Amino acid sequence: MSSVSPAESSSVDSAGIHPVVAGAAPGLYRVLADGPGETGGVLAGREVPSDETLLRLYRAMALVRAVDERMITLQRQGRISFYGAATGQEAAVIGSGLALEATDWVVPALREGGIALLRGLSLSDYVNQLFGNGSDIEKGRQMPCHYGHRDVRYVTLSSCIANQLFHAVGISLAARLRGDDTIAVGYMGDGATSEGDFHVAMEFAARLRAPVLLFCQNNQWAISTGVRGQTLAATMAQKAHGYGMDGYRVDGNDVLAVHALTSHVVAEIRRTGRPAFVEALTYRVGAHSTSDDPSRYRDESITERWKERDPLRRLRPLLEARGLWDDARDAAFISDVAERLKAEVQRAEADAPPSIDSLFDDVYAAVPPHLVAQREALRGSTAHLKASSH
């Protein structure tokens, strides 16, 4: 078996939010009462956030879903080169992202772009990055989905698995040295826990008492390697025990549970100055990226069962019961997002590419003589290209 079944993901940790106990049967912190044999609503003893927060969580997840669907279509049409969607994982992304302060730093893996939007990255900047055009703040230097923006404290991700984690540790230590009440969150997939950089980050975080949250979206597939093929550990969360660190486990498709647990853990990190690890158990219902075909290596009947645990489908009944959402509002929201995306894509596609001169920017404060010479040589060798474009 290469993945956890949806039935296993419905187990409830009835004791509330607490670290995973070594050797104990693995449970999950949940809020929504929509598992087998449950009647819907909210589990007894669980708190529900305000109506404003409920709507913000749902709308943010729905925005991520709509953006992902549109961008996958663009890639299939050959209009962008690559895309990695968060389909089915929106609760883990948005639930954790909304638990952070604006002053905190996000050090992402592939599927956290929705957090950048949540924190204020404009849809224009998001789309520009995918096209790598002249308005792209990264000047076309990164492949699509590698967003980054200092203003929203969202660090540009690296495609190298797990190397972002000790960067998150370093950022949190720097914040402590500055006296800032700031934490960093290092995101990863389950595959990152098989990398040496993961263990380096965990060791340094624990030993140096870094105020960092290491957050694992366990979607059960590291491209084509199932989680059971990576580790004999019953859970990812229990790996934290080897480093003297608290590890937590949450239903990664229950946005209310993710938000509540992450809020609690973040508060504990601020209070104690100690790191923590969170495993959000979810499932990658789509391909790893637009370069992947999961039907070649996994049982897609399990995928169909996981689609029944869809984060938006699970939250919507609660919103409808509170009079916060209905079909008309849903249609209006989807239409508005579609129109915004259409306009942004048209604008981004019409934009010119980054200038060739930008190749020499942002390395030195002042361009040194040898690079000035190279720039002039490049201008001369490409002048005919500009002339032929007119």
Q: Which residues are catalytic?
A: 284, 288, 297
Q: Which two tokens stand for residue 67?
A: 């953006």
**Selection from 24, 91, 27 nearest residue 282 by Cα:** 91
Kindly tell me the sign of the dihedral angle through the C-alpha atoms of 197, 202, 205, 211: positive
Tell which residue, 168, 233, 237, 219, has the closest CA to residue 197.
168
Could you tell me which residues come within 8 angstroms of residue 357 by beta carbon, excluding any fewer than 6 positions away?
375, 379
Amino acid at site 381: S
- Give the phi and the psi of residue 145 in degrees, each rounded to 5: 80, 0
Contact criterion met (CB below 8 Å) for 279 and 57: no
40: left (phi over 0), alpha (psi -120 to 50) or beta: left
What contacts 24+ positions apart, CB below 8 Å, involve 307-311? 307/88, 308/6, 309/6, 309/9, 309/88, 309/253, 309/283, 310/88, 310/253, 310/285, 311/61, 311/88, 311/89, 311/90, 311/91, 311/253, 311/254, 311/255
Distance CA 14, CA 33 (A): 12
Handedness of CA 218, 219, 224, 227 (dihedral sign): positive
C-alpha to C-alpha distance for 88 and 90, rounded to whole angstroms? 6
Strands 212-218 and 184-189: parallel
Residue 278 near residue 261, CB atoms below 8 Å: yes
Report in angstroms the alpha-carbon separations of 183 from 49, 100, 165, 267.
23, 9, 13, 10
